[in-house]
Structure 1
C-alpha cells in the first residue's frame, strides 16, 4: 500500500556502540526518506563514535574501529543531517524507545537543538507487537514473505521497516493510512522527554515516571524538594531529559 503522507517520512535505523542512551554513540545511520509523491531517497553514513566499539557490538553489526577511524564524527555531520530531516516525520523499528532518544542526544552533544515537537513518530515495532508480537526479521517474513538479509546492517533494517509498514496497512484495514493516527497508535505512552523519565498523566500534567517521586507532578516535586533538580542535572540522565526538566522549571519560575 502506498503511504498517505502530508510530510516526508524518514525511516531510519542506527547501529551503535551499545544500548545506553547517555553513554553510547552512533557508528552508522541509514535512512529512507519517502516523499508524499512516492519518491524515495536512500542514504547511509558511517560515523566515527570517538570511542572504542565494544567487541559484543561489533559481533552484532560487524562494524569495527578500523571501519570508522577515518569517518566524520557526528558533530561534523550534525547540521547537514538536521537539514535533511527538517520538516519530516520519523519512523523506525523500536525507534520511539531507542533510536529517537539516542539521535536526539547526539544532536544535543553536537550543539544542534532540533525541534521535534511537531513531528510524528511511527514505531513499526509497536504496531507489530500490538498486532502480532514478533521481531523485525519475523515481521519482515510475516508481512512481506521475505527473509531479511544482512540483518543489523542499518540500510537493510531501514528498508525492511519501510516495507513492513506498507504491508501492515495492506493487512489491517482497521489501521488508518495517516501518519498522525499511526504515530498515536504506535506510542505506548505520552512521554514528556524522549527517554520517558517524565510522562503526561491522564490530566495532561507532567509527572515523574521513575524513582521515589514516580507519579508525582514534576512542578510539585521541583517546588517541594529543591535539591532534586540539582541531583538530576548532575546525574547520569540524557541531555534531552535535563533540557526538558529545565524548561519546566523555568516555565514555572517565569509564571510567578
Structure 2
C-alpha cells in the first residue's frame, strides 16, 4: 500500500492530467489521476479515463498513448464532476507543474459545468516543479532519479506520474528541510519545511489566476503578466482603460482568469 511522510493538517490531493492538448481554454481532459495523501499517512488513488467530447490529435495521442477509441465509451467530465468534487472536498492540491497546467485545466472543466461545484477557497497549492526548479532545475524523470533513486518507467501515464510526484515531494522535504538560502537582500532563510502552508507559499507566492495572466509583484500588488500592460497594476489599467476588461471577457481567455478579473473589478466599486 502506498504511504507518505508529509505532516498534514488536511488531506492533499496530487493530480496529474492527460489531455487533448495544452490550451487550457480549448482542450479537454482524457485521463485524470488523483493520489489523495491523508492525514494518517495513507494514500487513496483514483484513475479515470474521460471522454473529452472532441477528437484527440494524433500528435498528442503519440505522447500519452490514449486514442479516441480508448475513451469513446468513457464518461464525460460532466458525468463524473460531482464525484470528483466530493473526492477533492477539503483537500489542498498538488502536482508537478500543477499551478500552470493541471489545476488550471481542472478548474476550467469544473467552471464549464457550474461555477460553484468546485470551490478553491481555503485550499493551498503545492507545485513540486517549483520546488524542484528552485533547488535542482530538471524534469520529473530526473527529479525522480535524483530524489528517489529510481528510474521513471512509463512516463506520461497519469498514475505513474502522479505517484512519482508524491514520492518526489516527500523526498524533497526530507532532503531540504533545514537547508538555508539567502534572498535577494542577503537575508538567510529556510525555504523548505514539512508544512503544506510553507510549501504552498513557495509554490504559489505570486499566484492570482492559474493561467498567470495576473500575478502579485514584489509589493503584493496585482499586475498584468502579459501584453502591453505587463507589469501594470490591474486596478490602474481597469480605471484608465475600462474597455480592456471587456476585451479580456469577450476573448479566448481561461474562465478562471475572467472570474478573478471580475472579482477585482467588483472590489474596485466597493
TM-score by length of 2: 0.90
Q: Could you say which residue in structure 1 is the equivalent of 2:140?
A: 136
Shift of residue 38, structure 1, vs aligned partner = 0.7
The aligned runs of 1:97-176 (5 Å cut-off) are 97-113=100-116, 114-174=118-178, 175-176=192-193
Q: Could you say which residue in structure 2 is the equivalent of 1:243?
A: 259
Give the count of matched residue pairs: 253
Q: Could you say which residue in structure 2 is the equivalent of 1:177?
A: 194
Q: Distance in 1 between matches of 2:37 and 2:222?
A: 34
Instruction: Kindly report structure 1 stretches of 4+ aligned residues shifted beyond 4 Å.
Output: none
The aligned runs of 1:1-256 (5 Å cut-off) are 2-113=5-116, 114-174=118-178, 175-187=192-204, 189-253=205-269, 255=270
Q: 1:13 to 1:170 in 2, by over 3 A?
A: same
Q: Could you say which residue in structure 1 is the equivalent of 2:183?
A: none
Shift of residue 94, structure 1, vs aligned partner = 0.6
| Contact residue 27 and residue 46 of structure 1 kept, 8 A | yes
Shift of residue 136, structure 1, vs aligned partner = 0.8
Secondary structure at the aligned position of 1:45 is classed as strand
Q: Distance in 1 between matches of 2:254 and 2:61?
A: 24
Aligned CA-pair RMSD: 1.3
Q: Distance in 2 between matches of 1:220 and 1:142?
A: 45
| Contact residue 79 and residue 112 of structure 1 kept, 8 A | no
| Contact residue 10 and residue 91 of structure 1 kept, 8 A | yes
Q: Distance in 1 between matches of 2:218 and 2:140?
A: 32
Q: Distance in 2 between matches of 1:250 and 1:176?
A: 37
Q: Distance in 1 between matches of 2:216 and 2:193?
A: 25
CA deviation profile, 1:160-203 (whole Å, cap 9, x unmatched):
0111111112222323100011111223x512111111112233
Q: 1:67 to 1:112 in 2, by over 3 A?
A: farther
Shift of residue 112, structure 1, vs aligned partner = 4.2
